[in-house]
Structure 1
Amino acid sequence: MIPAVDALLKDIRNKRIAPVYLVHGDEPYYLDRIAEELEKVAVPVAERGFNQFVLFGKDTDVGAVLNYARRYPFMAERQLVLVKEAQQMAGIGDKSAQTLLEDYALNPLSSTILMLCYTKEDGKPGLDERKAWVKAFGAKGKLLGVKKIYDNKVPDWVGEYCREQGVKVSPKACQLLADHIGNDLKRLAGEIDKILINLHVGEEISAATVERLVGISKEYNVFELQKALCQRDVVKANQIVDYFARNPKDNPLVVILAQLFSYFGKVLLVQSSKDQSEKALASLLGVNPFFVKDYLSAARTFPLLKVADIIHAIRRADALSKGIEAPTMHEGDILRELVFSVLH
């Protein structure tokens, strides 16, 4: 959990409620979680019909939102006005509308809780915290920005999420989920929740559990491909590649290449490190010490120059997958060519 998010959630759970909230960033999981927590405590269940308003940016505008905020609650102490996808509100980019938001944030109605959830959309700039109206939310309430976590932090996030649910999880299970799903935290949380429903009391989430309940093949996954490459097992590596080629939707090439690039990039770091202790390497690679032996084994299998050649081959495969050089080349053939170059 991001410390600032954790602190805000604790304040909300303890009913230390601010009059205005502006949460923003490119990680919708945390924006939704904060909003859900506020919905739980802001207004009693019996009073929500008349005093809780959940709006969506694409269906409203700044003026309408402020009209809701300025009304008084109906036979209740306070009301909640929550705007999801606030970046889509009509007029949100206009100076006049921003001035109205600033004026309200500086003088909020004490009986209203106003929360704007502003999601950074792909290819568009995020919220500028230097703007006066944004600063006003921070001055009189809570302003919080959250960013997507880096891929190498996802296994730690999985472990932390499982611990929050009171369940033990193995390092390999964390890595398997991270490799299969990536840094989509909402989807990760959903998959873990599904696992928990089918888990026996006191049972640990193991790699086998993930393979069984998430639908990851036990024999044919990127973990096993990396292992086959490291062991120079030509037959096994090609069996896995053939499986990937037959099931491209479940095994997209772009994801496989990204994971192989990360793997061999870490092998290169191991080879260039002066300190070869398990603790130092785990810190350098940003991985659980459980996995250090795998990278050490790969570093012994492939000489430094060969690893550099492999990374170059992965980059070439990525270019081919995007139609550069060979616009009609099949994804399975691209991966077969890559595996051949790694093993020969």
Structure 2
Amino acid sequence: MAKNTENTEQLCERIVNDASRGVFKPLYLLMGEESYYPDKICQAIISNCISQDDKDFNETILYGTETSVEQVISCARRYPMMSDRQLVVLKEAQAMKGLEGLSVYCEAPLDSTVLVVLMHGAKLDKRTALYKAFIKNGIVVDSPGMRDYEIQGWIMTHFRSLGLDISPDAAALLGEYSGTDLVKIASETDKLTKSLPEGTTAISIGDIEKNVGISRQFSIFELNKALNYGKSTRALEIAARISSAAKFSMPAAVAMLFTNFQRILKYGILLSSRRVDSESKAKVLTGVNPYFYKEYENAARLYNTQKCISIISLLCDYDYFSKGGSPVTQDELFVELISKILNCQAGFIPVR
């Protein structure tokens, strides 16, 4: 089968829908940096491929940490018992020694067997015979990691698929808390929806704070907002609070600040070109909801191009410091960083 041109989400939905209708391929290779879609597809196949009454005889779940290639091939070559098909699932396949040997079966799979190979945080080399066999005789799902700027949009789309509208600031806060881990976002969303009053259709930032257990008041989301509006006292207060938290990660915080100032830099350049329209804004502020455009307009006035370049350079230096390049504690480093950003003047900013 030729490799599919759909994006990962579209391909996932198609496979899940096919599974619900009892339509299966003989081979599935589910892999990639992001495990949300591979796991979702695998579960859909397990839920729909074999009836509950037949699972004891015609469903086999194996793990790469405790199974050999020979065992997988032996299971896959068995014929189903009193059924049209059997299901063999190999989880944690990236941990199996000699996985490439599975190509012997995948080059000529049985029509009566559905073989699912699930890899977490890993992928097959596309040059191998095994990968080519999956492409030819089945379906390959390669799920790439999400980028920071994609998360807010993904969250809003995910909530819409559940029949819920989530406000942009609520989506941004949930994204900050969960990072780019779609499995974690889906888990938090599930907990949130179960705790909402019946009939709820809109999710506010208050719902996120109450049910997910995070505070908007002291978050990188609010820190960026304070910096973008030039609120020095507020920014330093937030920096001190979040950097003293037990789970604080300065590299992660610096990465989010970097994204913010990179956007300000691009937006400022756009404004200076005097070619500002909705399309050009969307291109420059990739992944940013129009709800936040006003904030970036204000920030672009506060931080000119030279200031942004200097601050981005400063962030790179402090990223190094936070990873062991300084004897100072992370909380002290972070407050110092925010102070330097606030006091930034055009031109070179000296580092520590």
If the length of structure 2 is used for normalisation, what is the TM-score?
0.89
- Counterpart Cα distance in 1 of 2:137 and 2:279: 45
Whether the 8 Å CA contact 1:279–1:289 is kept in 2: the answer is no
- Counterpart Cα distance in 1 of 2:283 and 2:264: 14
The one-letter code sitting in structure 1 at the alignment partner of 2:154 is W
Unaligned 5+ segments in structure 2 are 1-7, 344-352
Q: Deviation per CA, 1:51-100, whole angstroms, max 9, x where unpaired?
A: 1111111110110011111112223222110011112123215xxx2xxx
Partner of 2:65: 58
- Counterpart Cα distance in 2 of 1:56 and 1:323: 37
Whether the 8 Å CA contact 2:163–2:201 is kept in 1: the answer is no
1:22 aligns with 2:22: no
- Counterpart Cα distance in 2 of 1:257 and 1:67: 50
The one-letter code sitting in structure 1 at the alignment partner of 2:336 is E
Q: Deviation per CA, 1:219-250, whole angstroms, max 9, x where unpaired?
A: 1111221222233322212211221232141x
Deviation, 1:129, is 2.1
- Counterpart Cα distance in 2 of 1:278 and 1:248: 41
Paired residues, number: 331
Partner of 1:310: 311
Residues 131-142 of structure 1 mapped to structure 2, 5 A cutoff: 131-142=128-139
The one-letter code sitting in structure 2 at the alignment partner of 1:114 is L
- Counterpart Cα distance in 2 of 1:223 and 1:245: 14
Q: Deviation per CA, 1:279-308, whole angstroms, max 9, x where unpaired?
A: 421232111111111111101112221222
If the length of structure 1 is used for normalisation, what is the TM-score?
0.91
For 2:31, what is the secondary structure of its paired residue? strand
Bigger shift: residues 80-89 or 273-282: 273-282
For 2:99, what is the secondary structure of its paired residue? coil
Cα RMSD for the two superposed structures: 1.7
The one-letter code sitting in structure 2 at the alignment partner of 1:333 is E
For 1:128, what is the secondary structure of its paired residue? coil
Whether the 8 Å CA contact 1:270–1:276 is kept in 2: the answer is no
- Counterpart Cα distance in 2 of 1:17 and 1:64: 23
Unaligned 5+ segments in structure 1 are none
Give the share of equivalent positions with the same residue, in percent.
Answer: 32
- Counterpart Cα distance in 2 of 1:307 and 1:255: 19
Bigger shift: residues 62-71 or 12-21: 12-21
Distance 1:280 1:305, change over 3 A: same
1:343 aligns with 2:342: yes
For 2:136, what is the secondary structure of its paired residue? helix
Partner of 2:329: 330
For 2:257, what is the secondary structure of its paired residue? helix
Whether the 8 Å CA contact 1:54–1:83 is kept in 2: the answer is yes
